[in-house]
Amino acid sequence: MKSQALQELVKKIFSDEKIKSQFMTNPDSILSQFSLTEDERKAVLKTHARLGQMASDSVLLDTAIEPNIWWT
């Protein structure tokens, strides 16, 4: 299902340096401004804890996604 609040959250973080820096230091303070489901909140925090803000040369990203590509 499409996640409107999730899209808005990610857009906000990536388009506003102040929000981004606040999210990096205190993610909960930003997450509380969006009506995310509990599962969406967990997914955001898990991604943030493991990968932070990703760049295209992120080796961590490969490590995180590769184990999930086991069926396709």
Partner 1 sequence: MAILLRSEIETLLAPLSDNSGLYDLVKEPLSKVMQDLVAGAARDRAWFFLPLIICDVICGRCEHAIPTCAGIELLKAAAGVFDDIEDTDSAESLPSKYGIPLALNTANILLILAERAFTRLKKQGVDSDIVVNIIDTVNSYCVTACIGQHLDLSLASEEFTLEDVYLRVIAMKSASTVECACYSGALLAEANQELIKSFTIFGHNLGMASQIANDIKGIRHLSDIKKHKITLPTIYALAQTDGETHRLLEAVFCKRPYGFLPTPDRIRDLLFSTGAIQYATIKMELYKQQALNTLFELERAGVKVDQLKQFLQ
The interaxial angle of helices 4-15 and 17-25, nearest 10 deg, is 110
Using the rule CB under 8 A, which residue among 21, 26, 33, 53 binds partner 1? 53
Residues binding partner 1: number (CB under 8 A): 32
The CA–CA distances, whole Å, from 47 to 15, 44, 71 equal: 19, 5, 22
Q: Which residue of 29, 32, 54, 63 would you call a contact of partner 1, by CB under 8 A?
A: 54
Instruction: Give the number of other Cβ atoms within 10 Å of residue 13's Cβ.
Output: 20
Binding footprint of partner 1 on the chain (CB under 8 A): 1-3, 6-7, 10-11, 13-14, 39-40, 42-44, 46-47, 51, 53-56, 61-62, 64-72
